[in-house]
Amino acid sequence: MQPPAGYPSACAYHPGRPAGVRCQRCGNPICGECMVEAPVGHQCRRCLAQGMARTRQVEGPYGGRRSANPALTSLVLIGINVAVWIGIMLSGGFAGTLSNLFALTPGGLCEIGADTYVGVPPRACGAEGGSFVPGPLDGGWWQVITSAFTHISPLHIGMNMLALWVLGPSIERVLGRARFLGVYVVSALTASALIMWLASPTTTTLGASGAISGLMGALLVLVLRHQGDVRTVLMWIGINVVITVLGSAGISWQGHLGGFLGGIAVTLVLAAFRKARPWQWVAVAAIGALALVAMAARVLVG
C-alpha cells in the first residue's frame, strides 16, 4: 500500500527505515531514532546539534551574551574620555569651567575671576563675588561618575586609555558587553565612594584610574576562576600599586583601592555560575546602590 501524498516515506538519514514525521526545522523526513522532541513537533539530531552550537556561540562562559566585537565597548569609552579631554583643553584646562564641573571635589570649588579656591563655603564665595561650583557634599552628585571621564594631563589620559585598551576587550570577551559595562561603571562608583569617605573634602580627584583598577580586579577574579596563570595580572596590579604608592601626592590611592574592590565584588557575582541567574543583575545593582548610599551617608555626616 502506498503512503498518502505528502507523507514522509523514508528517513532522510536512514533510507531503509520508514519515517513517521518531518523535522520542524529543515523539513527532512525522520525515523524514530533520529527524532528529538522539540517545543513544537520534533527535530532531527542534526538541527538539534546546530541549534546547540549557535547557543554556545551566543552565550559566554558565564551566561553573558557574547560580543561580536569585544573591543567595541572599550573603543567607545576611550572615545568619550578623549572627547571630554578635548572639551576640557578648549575650556581652560585644569582651572577651566568644564574641569571644575566634572572633577570630583567633595566640598566644591569657588571661582573668583580666573582663580579657583577650595574650602570656601558657598555664602562666603558669593560674598566675594565668586561663583560656587558644588561638589557632592553640596548637591553636585554628577561628579561621582563624570570624574571617571575627566583628565587633564596627556600622559594621564594616555596611560589610562592604554590600560583600558589592553584590559577591556579581554574582559568583555568573557563576560559580554553589558556585564563588562557593569563592572566598569560600578567600579567608578565604588572608587568615588571611598574617595568621599577617606580623602579630604578639599581634594580634587579625576581620571578613569578607579574604573581601570576595577578592571584589574575583574581580570584577577576571571583568571583565578579559570585556574589560569595569574602572573601577568599580578604584574599589572603590582605596577598600579607602585605608581599609587611611589607616585606623586596627586594620585588617589582611595580611588584605586575603591575601584579595585568594586571590580572584584561585581565580577564575583557575574562569574559565580556557568549560566546566568536572574538575581545577578539585582546583586550588581545592589553593589552600585550601596556605593551611592555610602556617599549619601557621607553627605549627612558633613
Contact assessment for residue 269 and residue 224, using Cβ atoms and an 8 Å cutoff? no
List Cα–Cα distances, 269 to 34, 67, 167, 177, 279, in angstroms: 40, 20, 19, 16, 9
Confidence check: pLDDT of 54 > 90: no
Per-residue pLDDT tens for 228-286?
A: 888 888 988 898 888 887 766 678 999 999 999 999 999 999 998 878 888 999 999 99
Residues with Cβ < 8 Å from 18, sequence gap 6 or more? 9, 10, 11, 31
Identify the pLDDT of residue 3: 47
The residue ranking higher by pLDDT, 262 or 109, is 262
What pLDDT sits at residue 1?
Answer: 39
**1/263: higher pLDDT:** 263
Q: According to the model, what pLDDT value does residue 251 have?
A: 84
Query: SS3 of 65, please?
Result: strand
More confident residue, 25 or 55: 25
SS3 179: helix
Mean of all residue pLDDT scores within the chain: 88
Cα–Cα distance, 187 to 210 (Å, whole number): 7
Q: pTM above 0.85?
A: no
Q: Which of 18-32, 67-81, 185-199, 284-298 has the lowest mean pLDDT?
A: 18-32
Select the more confidently predicted residue: 299 or 24.
Answer: 299
Q: Where are the beta strands (DSSP E) in 61-174?
A: 109-112, 115-118, 131-133
The residues, any chain, with a CB within 8 Å of residue 30's CB and separated by 6 or more, are 8, 11, 12, 13, 19, 20, 21, 22, 23, 42, 44
- Say how far apart CA 227 and CA 207 lie, in whole Å: 32
Could you state, in order of their start, the residue ranges of all structural domains in the chain?
1-58, 72-91+140-301
Superfamily of domain 72-91+140-301: Rhomboid-like (1.20.1540.10)
Q: Which range is least confidently modeled, 54-68, 92-106, 126-140?
A: 54-68
